[in-house]
Amino acid sequence: MRKLFIVCLFLMLALPVWATHQRAAEITYEWKGGNAYEFTLTCYTYSPSPAGMQRDSLLVMWGDGFGDYVPRVVYQNLGDDYTLNVYKMIHNYSSAGTYVISMEDPDRNYGVVNVPNSVSVPMYIESELVINPFLGYNNSVQLLNAPVDKGCVGRPFYHTPAAYDPDGDSLSYRLVPCKGTNGEDIPGYTYPQTSSLFEIDPLTGVLRWENPMLQGEYNVAILIEEWRQGVKVGSVIRDMQILIEACNNNLPRINAISDTCVVAGSTLDFVITGIDPDGDKVTLEASGGPLTLSVSPAVMTPPTDFGLNPAFEFTWHTQCSHIRKTPYQLVIHAKDNSFPIPLSNVHAVNITVIGPAVEGLEVDNSQLTWLPYAYCTNVSAIRVYRRTGSTPYEPESCETGVRPGYQLIAELPADATSYVDDNGGAEFLQGVDYCYRVVALFHDGAESRPSNEACFQIPNNQPLMTKVSNDEGHLSDGHMLVEWVRPRDIDPQFTAPFTYRLIRNLDGVESSVYSGLDSTFFDSEVNLKEAQSLSYKVEMKDANQQVMGTSAPAGAVMLTGTGGDKTASLSWTETVPWVVDSTQIYREFDTVFAKIGTTAAMSYDDIHVQNEVTYRYYVCTFGHYTIEGLPRPLVNYSAIIEVKPTAEEPEPEPDHPVYELPNVFTPNGDGFNDVFVPIRITPDLITSVKMHIFNRWGRTVYDTDDIFINWDGRVAGSGQPCSTGTYFYVCDVEMITSEGSVTKRLQGSIMIIR
């Protein structure tokens, strides 16, 4: 009986040793071709536990209904009761899809503070694999820093997994609860206690714990997600363990550069040093993407250093193959030799390798030329950007692509050295500088540094409209002030005095409204509040009545508004030959109008309103020509309109007329959302549609009376694809209602994304 009691007592005391082992784990993968991937399961176990030794294979579920016992290929005692276990196997998938690869193994090590009864809780980890032929093959992140670390009570703790993505995908980080049985969140699991904060930087992956409060072992899980072209292409969950003990130690310090960039073909070189405030010796080392490359990797000289003032030099001879959109992360580790708990610090440096600029850009009357892009052979295309008005900025040292305000107008083969801009079949406007920059495009969407700016301007030999505005002194009347200026470049064959004929287009009907020497006209016959469309152009003649030219038409600011639930939605159009810079929005308060906002868009929502109250608004636009000496800003006022916000009504019944247009479509030939059509329509109740679509310069790109519109994103006439950007529309819809035939005007913007 005594013997049996001793055996039972021994087994009870030994239970935590025999049944406890899993400290940390993660699953990563590498593409091997086709739908074959090699998976690596990395586990850190508690060395004294025989359970770890017995796990020479572990069951991994592949996410496709199958699973295998994966053999162990590395079993290494690291000392200090930590053992490294690595398992590897290749698995073939039958088709594209999204797969969750998982491993569940009993049990975690004994005594984890924030995992209740951890010795009875399985270690569960998972990774997600997306096989999508349209996005390309994918390798998971590689985690270069071990998932076990140590810290001190009351001292800051920093850790980074040193994640490196071989494909250059963007990474994001977040903390998630540790998981147990069947992949469920562990009941009672809590994040570690802290005196200040416990968080992970979503961009760099640096885990900050300021400051641990209690001794013990803690487990935390980090979800690392990969993104490509805005689409999630994979993820890895790392379950890591942190040992916190009582110690009087301070973190070592790291001196290194901040985030930086390097132009491919150049050498990046800098020195990294470490020091400990307590006078301890420090081990200084580094890991990260630049050091793992197969072609021209970065080197550390020496690879690691140890001492009171350790230092090494980072040197990277970059090549064009290193260019990518996302930065490479270099993680520097400094670990002191304090006893009993050495502390570590980390410093992450993001290094972006960028493409050199295209050189030698010149433009001659819309004919662009540049030097061959001979620096890199891995260029996928040359992009041509244009804007109205010059911005002769010098790019910052790490700046790539072009700044806001430029529009992509062409994407050419990589060996292209010229381009003729036909402006989508429309005439170039006089009085406007057309300015260009060219960049090289690489496989993952990375753009090179921008080229120099090159501009041209059409000679100004015709009059220019400068004002088509509601009379600002009497806005309620809706009468128009119209102004223009004589051309700057008058042909000597024409003799003064010069006379003008002003032509008005009101709701599609043209008429001559003025002839004379003046360059201003007050049109009292028009009420802008009642007009559906209104524009003016001016014809110029010399003393011999020779026609010298006619200006481009300039349209009035046409403002409309709709009332939603506690919202007044305003939108406007202004088809003019000058550049519109901004619009100010005004609302009436006790008979006085006051500015409530400014925008560069063509719409505005006033949310500071109440339902069933009528509000009055007008807008004022500001623009300019780029010719020096012309008046600026060019100021134009809309009519005053009334908007009455109303609580949202139930969805209309099917027999009511419905016509609703989208605000974005993607004519990229993928068979999805390639054509701009109504998103809701009752065709039997729609009598007619007149759709007018124009670009930001007011040039028409598409007109139709097709009730389904069916715009493929090309310029009517030339068939040239419209570039990515914002376009505007006015659509008059005639519909049959219970009150008879009614015409409803829709105005708004369309975003083209290619």
User: What pLDDT digit, counting tens, does each position of 359-413 carry?
Assistant: 999 999 999 999 999 889 999 999 999 998 888 899 998 999 999 889 999 999 9
- The confidence score (pLDDT) of residue 595 equals 95
Helix (H) / strand (E) element for 11: namely: helix 2-18
126: tokens are: 């998972």
Is the four-CA dihedral 65, 71, 73, 74 of positive or negative sign? Answer: positive
The pLDDT score that the predictor gives to residue 239 is: 98
Dihedral over Cα of 473, 476, 479, 485: its sign: positive
pLDDT score for 9: 37
Alpha-carbon dihedral sign for residues 663, 667, 670, 672: positive
3-state secondary structure 249-317: CCCCEEECCCCEEEECCCEEEEEEEEECCCCCCEEEEEEEHHHHCCCCCCEEECCCEEECCCEEEEEEE
Tokens matching residue 705: 């009376």
70 close to 60: Cβ distance less than 8 angstroms: yes
Q: Do the beta carbons of residue 78 and residue 45 sit within 8 Å?
A: no
Length of the chain in residues, anyone?
Answer: 754
Average pLDDT, the chain: 90
Sheet holding 362-364, edge to edge: 362-364, 367-369, 418-420
pLDDT tens, position by position, 478-520? 999 999 999 988 988 999 999 999 999 999 999 999 999 999 9
Buried b (16+ CB within 10 A) or exposed e, 594-617: eeeeeeeebbbebeebeeeeebbb
pLDDT at site 669: 74
Closest C-alpha to 106, from 149, 147, 45: 45
Tokens 């011999």 map to which residue? 544
Q: Residue ranges of the domains in the chain?
A: 19-245, 253-354, 362-457, 460-649, 659-752
Global pTM value = 0.68
Residue 216: the pLDDT is: 95
**662 band by pLDDT with thresholds 50, 70 and 90:** confident
**Closest-CA residue to 149 (of 341, 16, 304, 21):** 341
Matching fold, domains 19-245 and 659-752: yes
The pLDDT-based confidence of 467 (bands split at 50, 70, 90) is: very high
The predicted structure's pLDDT at residue 655:
55
737, pLDDT greater than 90: no
Q: How far apart are CA 470 and CA 620, in angstroms?
A: 10
CATH topology of domain 19-245: Immunoglobulin-like (2.60.40)
The Cα 482–Cα 497 span in angstroms is: 21
Question: If you compute the radius of gyration of the chain from its CA atoms, what whole number of angstroms results?
Answer: 34
CATH for 362-457, among 3.10.20.30, 2.60.40.10, 2.40.30.10, 3.30.1490.20?
Answer: 2.60.40.10
Which class does domain 659-752 fall in?
mainly beta
673: tokens are 């959302």
- Distance in angstroms (rounded) separating the CA atoms of residues 58 and 606: 61
CA–CA dist 26, 370 (Å, integer)? 50
Over 80: is that where the pLDDT of 134 sits? no
Secondary structure percentages of the chain, helix, strand, coil, to 5:
5, 50, 45
- Nearest to residue 570, comparing CAs of 664, 642, 623, 636? 642
pLDDT band at 649 (very low <50, low <70, confident <90, very high): low
Better-scored residue on pLDDT, 311 or 6: 311
Task: Specify the DSSP class assigned to residue 321.
Answer: G
Mean pLDDT of the 254-267 span: 95
The pLDDT-based confidence of 723 (bands split at 50, 70, 90) is confident
547: amino acid identity, one letter: V
Strand partners, 634: 623
For the 253-354 domain, the top CATH level (class) is mainly beta
Give the pLDDT confidence score for residue 698 in this predicted structure: 65
Q: Tell me how crowded residue 369 is: count the other CB atoms within 10 A of its CB.
A: 14
Q: Give the Cα separation of 42 and 28 in Å (integer).
A: 8
When pLDDT is cut at 50, 70 and 90, the band that residue 220 belongs to is very high
Coil, strand or helix at 168: coil
What band does 226 get if pLDDT is binned at 50, 70 and 90? very high
**191-219 pLDDT tens trace:** 999 999 999 999 889 999 999 999 999 99
Amino acid found at 183: G
Residue 106: HSE in the Cβ half-sphere, 13 Å Cα cutoff: 9
Give the pLDDT of residue 13: 39
The CATH code of the domain at 460-649 is 2.60.40.10
pLDDT of residue 8: 39
Share of the chain above pLDDT 70, in %: 95
Given a contact cutoff of 8 angstroms between Cβ atoms, the answer to whether 455 and 434 are in contact is yes
Q: Which of 47-61, 382-396, 597-611, 646-660 has the lowest mean pLDDT?
A: 646-660
Report the pLDDT value the prediction gives residue 10, as an integer from 0 to 100. Answer: 37
Residue type, 121: V
Query: Distance between the two ends of the chain, CA-based, in angstroms?
Result: 82
In whole angstroms, give the CA distance from residue 195 to residue 177.
20
What number is the average pLDDT over the span 269-285?
Answer: 95
Mean pLDDT of all residues in 172-195: 95
Q: Tell me the three state secondary structure of residue 84.
A: strand
- CA nearest 344: which of 214, 209, 210, 149? 149
Backbone angles phi, psi at 662, to 5 degrees: -75, 170
Residues 55-81: tens digit of each pLDDT: 899 999 999 999 999 999 999 999 989
Which residue matches tokens 């050498």? 267
How far, in Å, CA of 290 to CA of 200, rounded? 23
